[in-house]
Amino acid sequence: MKITGFRARLYEFEMERRLGDANLPEGTSMATGMLVFIDTDERISGVAIGGGPVGTIHRLVNDLLVGEDPRGVKGLWQKMNDAAFKGGNRGEIGTAISTIDVALWDLKARLNDEPLWKTLGASTNRVRAYASGLDLALDNSELTSFYTRMAQQGIQGGKLKVGVDLESDEHRLGLMRDALATSGKRPELMIDSNEYWSPKQAIRHITHLEKTFDITWAEEPARRWDVRGLRQVSQSINAAVATGENLDLLPEFTPLLVNGAADIINLGQGSGGITGMLQIADLAYAFDRPVTLMNCPGNFMAPVAACLPNHIGMEVVDAGRDVCFTVDNDIKDGWIVLGDSPGNGIEVDEQKLAVVEVEQYSPGTKVGSWGRRAGAGMYEVPSD
Ligand SMILES: [Mg+2]
């Protein structure tokens, strides 16, 4: 069995609602996606929903992977990272490597004719979920209806986007708590300021909120690499500091853990794909720290969470981003329940894909890449 090549298929679409955070409070409903297929000479392919420049994926696959046995996933991950090391294996090339890795793991599981969660060694098909509205652009009634809808699926945890307006954050945290309480369970409250604050802004803001609310974790309260600042925040608030979803490589996590700057590690697909996420989760496990999995379309990365002994909850956004595929999982009583379909459970719907497929993304459509807002780390509400 040999890898023969790849196909990348780009699509863009309008989501069911706007997504936004402190760096884009008005939000956007336009989004993009990319399906990457790794093909073999035995007419079976692996698929990932990912990113990275198509040209970079082309170079990595054609230069390094064509002719290789796809089942040696970890070895191929190392080969790609070793090839990229001189120019740096972070950023867009890191994203490309991550996407290929995710598709290779899917391929391996499909070849095994088993679900990915079994290939990864999970002994359960259940993953605890928490709701995440990416909700700064939602008005109060939209916020309440989102978290109420999630609570109806048994989800008791919610993560609110905060950072721009303390009074509004305080009010909306109460709305989220009350909506989650309709699950009949004790609400778990998280906040996420997406690196919008300086450490001292974070401490002032969070300690004020903690006078009223019991907050489980505060996510990215300071810059991702600010070890001293994140530690300062962690030592000054009751909530755990969670961070890491925007880091690229295992060695970037080590100083956060060694120095007590991260109490919870956020694992994202961009941190080396599944192979990289497994390494980082093991590192956190060595420090007795829990991990959480970042959101993704259709929760298709949930099989990774299922195999991690220190995983405490996966972010569920539920914004209608699975526009051209289905994923074999369901949310039941607050848990993502993974099906038995081979691989990661993605099944592409060609008819739906034909409606949204594009040659290139339109300007301004790439969700999540809206950049850092002017004034971040300095003042919460920029003056015009
Ligand atoms: Mg986040």
pLDDT tens-digit series, residues 326-336: 999 999 999 99
- Mean pLDDT for 8-14 is 96
Ligand 1 centre from 14 Cα, in Å? 21
- Mean pLDDT for 212-230 is 98
Ligand 1 centre from 135 Cα, in Å? 12
Asked, for residue 376, whether it belongs to a domain, the answer is no
314 shares a domain with 210: yes
> What is the chain's mean pLDDT, rounded?
96
Asked, for residue 153, whether it belongs to a domain, the answer is yes
339 shares a domain with 237: yes
Asked, for residue 374, whether it belongs to a domain, the answer is no
What is the amino acid identity at position 42? E
User: What's the pLDDT tens digit per position in 140-186?
Assistant: 999 999 999 999 999 999 999 999 999 999 999 999 999 999 999 99
Among 86-90, 275-279, 284-288, 307-311, which stretch is predicted with the lowest mean pLDDT?
A: 86-90
Structure tokens at 148: 């109420």
190 shares a domain with 165: yes
Ligand 1 centre from 294 Cα, in Å? 7
Contacts of 315 (CB under 8 A, 6+ apart): 130, 132, 159, 292, 293, 294, 295
Number of domains within the chain: 2
Look up the pTM and report it. 0.96
Q: Smallest Cα–Cα separation from 216: which of 234, 237, 189, 198?
A: 189
Ligand 1 centre from 347 Cα, in Å? 27
Asked, for residue 312, whether it belongs to a domain, the answer is yes
Asked, for residue 367, whether it belongs to a domain, the answer is no
159 shares a domain with 125: yes
Contacts of 247 (CB under 8 A, 6+ apart): 224, 225, 253, 271
Per-residue pLDDT for 368 more than 60?
no
Ligand 1 centre from 103 Cα, in Å? 24
384 pLDDT tier (thresholds 50, 70, 90): low
155 shares a domain with 37: no
Ligand 1 centre from 57 Cα, in Å? 26
287 shares a domain with 165: yes
Ligand 1 centre from 273 Cα, in Å? 17
77 shares a domain with 155: no
Per-residue pLDDT for 364 more than 90?
no
Q: What does the alpha-carbon distance between residue 108 and residue 257 come to, in Å, rounded to a whole number? A: 32
Per-residue pLDDT for 273 more than 70?
yes
- Mean pLDDT for 26-39 is 94
Q: What does the alpha-carbon distance between residue 339 and residue 231 come to, in Å, rounded to a whole number? A: 40
Among residues of the chain, what percentage have pLDDT more than 70?
98
Contacts of 282 (CB under 8 A, 6+ apart): none
Displacement of CA 363 from its chain's centroid (Å): 23
183 shares a domain with 55: no
Contacts of 363 (CB under 8 A, 6+ apart): none
- What CATH number does residue 149 fall under? 3.20.20.120
Cβ < 5 A residues, ion ligand 1:
192, 219
Q: What does the alpha-carbon distance between residue 7 and residue 313 come to, in Å, rounded to a whole number? A: 32
- Mean pLDDT for 97-106 is 98
Per-residue pLDDT for 363 more than 90?
no
For the chain, the residue count is 384
pLDDT reported for residue 8? 98
- What CATH number does residue 67 fall under? 3.30.390.10
Ligand 1 centre from 194 Cα, in Å? 6
Strands 346-348 and 325-327: antiparallel
Q: What does the alpha-carbon distance between residue 128 and residue 331 come to, in Å, rounded to a whole number? A: 9
Ligand 1 centre from 240 Cα, in Å? 14
Q: What angle do CA 78, 82, 83 make, to 5 degrees?
A: 120
Ligand 1 centre from 264 Cα, in Å? 12
Per-residue pLDDT for 204 more than 70?
yes
Ligand 1 centre from 268 Cα, in Å? 9
Ligand 1 centre from 293 Cα, in Å? 10
52 shares a domain with 30: yes
Q: What does the alpha-carbon distance between residue 104 and residue 195 come to, in Å, rounded to a whole number? A: 32
pLDDT reported for residue 257? 98
pLDDT reported for residue 356? 97
pLDDT reported for residue 196? 96
pLDDT reported for residue 144? 98
Determine contact, residues 249/90, Cβ cutoff 8 Å: yes
229 shares a domain with 180: yes
Asked, for residue 366, whether it belongs to a domain, the answer is no
Q: Smallest Cα–Cα separation from 338: which of 109, 147, 15, 134?
A: 109
- Residue-number span of the structural domain to which 342 is assigned: 118-348
pLDDT reported for residue 201? 96
Asked, for residue 380, whether it belongs to a domain, the answer is no
Determine contact, residues 270/305, Cβ cutoff 8 Å: no
Per-residue pLDDT for 94 more than 80?
yes
253 shares a domain with 104: no
Q: What does the alpha-carbon distance between residue 115 and residue 31 come to, in Å, rounded to a whole number? A: 28
Displacement of CA 279 from its chain's centroid (Å): 16
151 shares a domain with 49: no
pLDDT reported for residue 374? 86
Asked, for residue 373, whether it belongs to a domain, the answer is no
Per-residue pLDDT for 194 more than 80?
yes
Q: What does the alpha-carbon distance between residue 81 and residue 318 come to, in Å, rounded to a whole number? A: 33
366 pLDDT tier (thresholds 50, 70, 90): low
Alpha-carbon distances of 34 from 246, 253, 260, 324, 348, rounded to whole Å: 19, 27, 36, 11, 12
What is the amino acid identity at position 331? I
pLDDT reported for residue 370? 77
- Mean pLDDT for 117-144 is 98
